[in-house]
Structure 1
Amino acid sequence: MFRFGEVEIIWFLLLVPVQWLLMFWARRRRRRRIARLGDAQHVRMLMPYASEWRFWFKGGLLSLAIACVVLALARPQFGLRQEKAKRTGAEVMFVLDVSRSMLAQDVRPSRLERAKLGIQQLLNRLHDDRIGLILFAGRAYVQLPITNDYSSAQMFLGQVNTDMISEQGTALGSALQLAMRSFSPQEGIGRAIVVISDGENHEDDPLSAAEEAAKQGIKIFTVGIGSLEGAPLPDASGGLKKDGAGNVVISRLDEKVLASIAATTGGVYMHATNFQSGLDPIYEGIDTMQKAEYEQVNYTSYDERFQLFLAIALGLLVLGTIVLERRNPWFNLGRIYRATGGRSAY
């Protein structure tokens, strides 16, 4: 790939047509001055070494040199450069509930938006740890594989909504199993799973998944989002969701399972409210986990290639200095000798 680091400098290429306008003006003025001396043919005989084409040739060299200098100042850059760096950190997989119950507004602006904000706050504090994102409702899938690309994580997180999984429910056990399989195969590195959910309607056995995680040395931190009193759920029409009997459906936070999952693995359970994201103790727990060194590939800025254009410009200027506007007198003497058949012209 190619680009200019200072693309606005390209406008200075307009100096080239300005130079040629000045050259045309200077040449026309010179012809007028010569015409005042007498007949043009006789005047040319008095100036045997004058060369018209050399003037324009030198002007072309100067134009190319100006263009190369401008291109060099515009900083031409080619291709991306890979750089490998060593980082030390742990691995953290975020598991986010995107079931419809996360639309309840007992925390503002909604459970899901508050959960996303809490994850963003935690991402701002994690720097060298590798991260991933799993979404779950009636099933679970990997939204972002384990990576150290925090920009991509922020982008994917911003796009999360409850329509991303049509199958409703809360398959937390499946999500935990998927999270455990999604870590890198590297050994000797601390691993954590951060679950953010309202804890409702578990359709599988998340405690069995937590026990398996504990055997693998994986800590699970859980965040309960919502209130114990609960809140009604909005529906697609803008009203409130109702059951078959016409009663408004109230979604309540279920802390019991979430707390048990965290306790099984030696993690921490926190209840997030409008005033506390619940992620500070979790960050402290991740910060104390075992760190391991891993190799990170960074795609850094383009390679600078202005040196090539500067070298070409320098060569053109040197050539323009060597080439004179006058013909070589020795060349003209040889031509006169051949024209006279080797006889003396005097």
Structure 2
Amino acid sequence: MEFVNKEYFLLLLLLVPYLIWYLLYGRKSEPSMRMSDTYAYQYAPKSLRVRLAWLPMLLRIVTFILIVLVLARPQTRNDWGKRTVEGIDIMLAMDVSTSMLAEDLKPNRIEAAKSVAAEFISGRPDDNIGLTIFAGEAFTQCPMTTDHTSLLNLLQNVRTDIAARGLIEDGTAIGMGLANAVGRLKDGKAKSKVVILLTDGSNNMGDISPLTAANIAKSFGIRVYTIAIGSKTMAPYPMPVGGTVQYVNMRADVDVETLSEIASTAGGHFYRATNTAELKKIYEDIDKLEKTKMDVKKFSKHYDAYQPFAMAAFITMLLEVLLRLVVFRRIP
């Protein structure tokens, strides 16, 4: 916490003459009763009210100090903070073709993949993570970042209808998705760089073959983990017919051999995920990767923090007035 108007702290110097006045003259100005002899009261016990007679004066001083703090305008810091963390560079390459709507994983393949990816991101707060999505084409949904809140928001917005709406071509361009992720990772400073490729199909689109992209990843020291999502036989797929949706059984079309070869070429591992538990298995290998130190900049937004001091000043002032007029009331 910092104070914008520090010059107001000079007002605290006024407490010095006030205390001197109170000790020398303040008590003498209070009402008193003259007696010829006070010997009889010399050893009389003092009541709690007499012992706490100084309390209103103390509350008055505390109120003044709190008001000065409010005038000084306390604020949180508004700057970029730097800290050093240990993490790795990771790009998630996720298939968003329409076949990812198959419901052999619950509720469907795309939602299961997003759920596991979100859990993975949340479990690695110090990693630099980005997201590439691909169907017949590939593009970066989120560049590598340690701002995982923004990344998770962008992940939740991933949908398979971008191909159906004509934003990109439908299909499965595994090579393009992998190449896009490699392009984001190649200039990273981390010692460990990883691509996690999730798909439910075989490469049938794009200008770059999956194995060519795998060799490019290998040349940059990037490991590639591939995950084949979907059952090994048939899967229920929602097919729009007229204004309704009918389910048809769709045969699995995952190119297991190519995905396995990609992982082997780029020093990673291949996984076959027919359920969520198998998807989570990738965590075990990622956690074993070497970590590297990197500097992270974080922006903290400022806000005025005078409210607690103002509330405390109001309470102490009200308490002082009540004590002076009720508990310690003096009748001249």
TM over 0.5: yes
Alignment map for 1:1-346 (pairs within 5 Å)? 69=67, 72=70, 77=75, 80-165=78-163, 166=166, 167-183=169-185, 185-187=187-189, 189-204=191-206, 205-236=209-240, 237-240=243-246, 249-280=250-281, 282-300=282-300, 302=302, 306=306
Distance apart, 1:251 and its partner CA = 4.4
Q: TM-score, normalised by structure 1?
A: 0.61
Counterpart CA distance in 1 for 2:278 and 2:121 is 13
Change (3 A) 1:164 1:78: farther
The two structures, once aligned, show a CA RMSD in angstroms of 3.1
Q: TM-score, normalised by structure 2?
A: 0.64
Distance apart, 1:76 and its partner CA = 5.9
Distance apart, 1:69 and its partner CA = 3.9
List runs of 5+ in structure 2 lacking aligned partners. Answer: 1-62, 318-332
Distance apart, 1:126 and its partner CA = 1.2
Alpha-carbon contact 1:88-1:292 (below 8 Å) kept: yes
Alpha-carbon contact 2:105-2:230 (below 8 Å) kept: yes
The residue number in structure 2 matching 1:321 is none
Distance apart, 1:163 and its partner CA = 1.8
Distance apart, 1:258 and its partner CA = 1.5
Alpha-carbon contact 2:175-2:203 (below 8 Å) kept: no
User: Secondary structure at 2:204's aligned position in 1?
Assistant: coil
List runs of 5+ in structure 1 lacking aligned partners. Answer: 1-64, 243-247, 318-346
How many residues align? The count is 240
Alpha-carbon contact 1:102-1:111 (below 8 Å) kept: yes
Change (3 A) 1:150 1:188: closer
Alpha-carbon contact 2:239-2:247 (below 8 Å) kept: yes
The residue number in structure 1 matching 2:21 is none
Q: Deviations over 1:238-297 (max 9, x none)?
A: 43488xxxxx754443322222211111211111223514233x3233223332222111
Counterpart CA distance in 1 for 2:114 and 2:94 is 8
Change (3 A) 1:77 1:191: same
Change (3 A) 1:186 1:257: closer
Alpha-carbon contact 2:137-2:205 (below 8 Å) kept: no
Distance apart, 1:71 and its partner CA = 9.3
Counterpart CA distance in 2 for 1:223 and 1:254 is 11
Q: Deviations over 1:130-186 (max 9, x none)?
A: 000000001000000010111111111111110234310111101111111112624
Q: Which amino acid aligns with 2:259?
A: L
Counterpart CA distance in 2 for 1:283 and 1:249 is 29
Larger Rg, first or second structure (1 or 2): 1
% identical aligned pairs: 35
Q: Deviations over 1:4-36 (max 9, x none)?
A: xxxxxxxxxxxxxxxxxxxxxxxxxxxxxxxxx
Alpha-carbon contact 1:233-1:241 (below 8 Å) kept: yes
Change (3 A) 1:186 1:136: closer
Distance apart, 1:188 and its partner CA = 5.2
Alpha-carbon contact 1:221-1:269 (below 8 Å) kept: yes
Q: Which amino acid aligns with 1:181?
A: G
Change (3 A) 1:286 1:275: closer
Q: Deviations over 1:107-129 (max 9, x none)?
A: 11101011111111211221211
Q: Which amino acid aligns with 2:283?
A: Y
Q: Which amino acid aligns with 2:214?
A: A
Change (3 A) 1:186 1:142: closer
Change (3 A) 1:130 1:257: same
Distance apart, 1:93 and its partner CA = 0.1
Alpha-carbon contact 2:190-2:294 (below 8 Å) kept: no
User: Secondary structure at 1:80's aligned position in 2?
Assistant: coil
